Chain A
Amino acid sequence: AQKVTQAQTEISVVEKEDVTLDCVYETRDTTYYLFWYKQPPSGELVFLIRRNSFDEQNEISGRYSWNFQKSTSSFNFTITASQVVDSAVYFCALSDRPGGGYQKVTFGIGTKLQVIP
Chain B
Amino acid sequence: DTAVSQTPKYLVTQMGNDKSIKCEQNLGHDTMYWYKQDSKKFLKIMFSYNNKELIINETVPNRFSPKSPDKAHLNLHINSLELGDSAVYFCASSQDRAPLVTDTQYFGPGTRLTVL
| A residues neighboring B (CB under 8 Å) | 31-33, 35, 37, 39, 43-45, 47, 50, 52, 89, 91, 95-97, 100-107, 109-110, 112
Contact = CB atoms under 8 A, between A and B. Distances in A.
A103 B102 contact: yes
Nearest to B107: A45
Highest count of chain A CB atoms <10 Å: which of B31, B43, B88, B100: B43
Contact of A104 (B45, B92, B99, B112): B45
Interface residues of B, number: 27
Nearest to A31: B100
Nearest to B94: A103
Contacts of A106: 45
A94 to B, nearest CB: 10
A32 B102 CA distance: 8
Contacts of A39: 41
B27 interface: no
Interface string B43-72: 111001010000110000000000000000
Contacts of A112: 41
A107 B105 CA distance: 12
Contacts, number: 61
A101 B102 CA distance: 12
Q: Nearest 3 CB-CB pairs, A to B?
A: A45-B107, A107-B43, A33-B102
A47 B106 contact: yes
B36 to A, nearest CB: 11
A91 B45 contact: no
Contacts of A52: 102
B14 to A, nearest CB: 24
Nearest to A107: B43
Contact of B55 (A45, A96, A102, A107): A102
Given A102-B31, A102-B50, A102-B55, A50 B41 contact: no
B39 interface: no
B41 A89 contact: yes
Interface in B98-114: 99-100, 102, 104-107, 109-110, 112
Contacts of B45: 104-106
A61 B115 CA distance: 41
